[in-house]
Structure 1
Amino acid sequence: MKELRPAIMTLILFTVICGGIYPALVTGIARAVFPKQANGSLIAGKNGAELGSALIGQPFSAPQYFWPRPSATADFGYNPMASGGSNAGPTTPDYLKTVGDRVRALRDTGVAGPIPADLVQASASGLDPHITLAAAKLQIPRVARARGLGEETVAELLARAAEERQLGFLGEPRVNVLMLNLALDRLGSLPG
């Protein structure tokens, strides 16, 4: 019994410190130093309603919007709680069928020529908020047609929304799909 009591007291003490005090302290510091990031990098609309996060992909499928990278969690609506890749290999029949279906869907919208991989293959997390500039440029004609805008106008908007490589050399130039689509919506209403 004399060994059990110190063990129980140590368990309680470390539970309070590691499970309560430390997380509260770190969360408080994060909210003070990086308030936007600590709260999920949420983007609010005109009326204050949350439109999404700049860090998590959003589902867009209407022709007047740029489409994001496919999500392995699409059955769950780009749900971060279901984050993860499919673990399917590049020669798996189901994977090849899925990619083939995505290519056909893009071809049905009038896309010709090579299709960037990020428009038909999900990322490892399944929640990427970005697509490459090549993937976005491929969608300009469809988006411009659906919105009744000139392709030059949409291309200019894309150029303004483009993000450079991280640290100048990591990754590819890219664009955040949610931010780009919100900028499109700010241009005005659709024809019709």
Structure 2
Amino acid sequence: MTEFSDLDGASDAAGAPAPATDEALLARIAARDRDAFAELFRRYAGRVKGFLIRSGFPAAEADEAAQEVMLSVWRRADSFDPARAGAATWIYAVARNRRVDMLRRRRPEPDPEDPLFRPDPDPAGEATLAAADRDRAVRAALVELTADQAQVVRLAFYDGLSHSEIAAMLDTPLGTVKSRLRLAMTRLRGALGPGFAAELRDG
């Protein structure tokens, strides 16, 4: 990863750049402004690396992947639409996609000769019906949440993100994320019972 290896000092010679929002920087990056990319790189490369480390990747691997994420940001900046998402949300979405790719590469290919490599037996009819009922109940409960509440629940339970990671991804105060999650948990507990958290993780 050498394409942007010199960017940390790209704007030092000209003095500190005027403060700019992340969205403004992305607009300039879409026009291939290297100084704007250098500033965004300084703001997010370390945060993306930390996100990947917390996802279980070693520091060296996370560092290389963070640089690849930022390179994707450089290449795809013209696809950013501030009307659809904040800059932080968009950048972390790129990072999440990269994390998924890394996790997929870690999984070994199944060995067709392995005696365990066979389909699971079909569940009994009653178990199938119970699982279907549970799935319907979970989905119905999630629909009853507000959009903001459902979003943080999915990020926390389905994607396994911490509260701070969700706050960074959504560009939302940590206290707001915790409040939305707390309200959502109260509503889901009432609809699904005390064991609902396990059902969400299985969903």
TM-score band, normalised by shorter chain: under 0.3
Structure with greater contact order relative to length (CA < 8 Å, sep ≥ 6): 1
- The structure where helix makes up a greater share of residues is 2
- The structure where strand makes up a greater share of residues is 1
TM-score (norm 1): 0.21
If you compute each CA radius of gyration, which structure gives the higher value, 1 or 2? 1
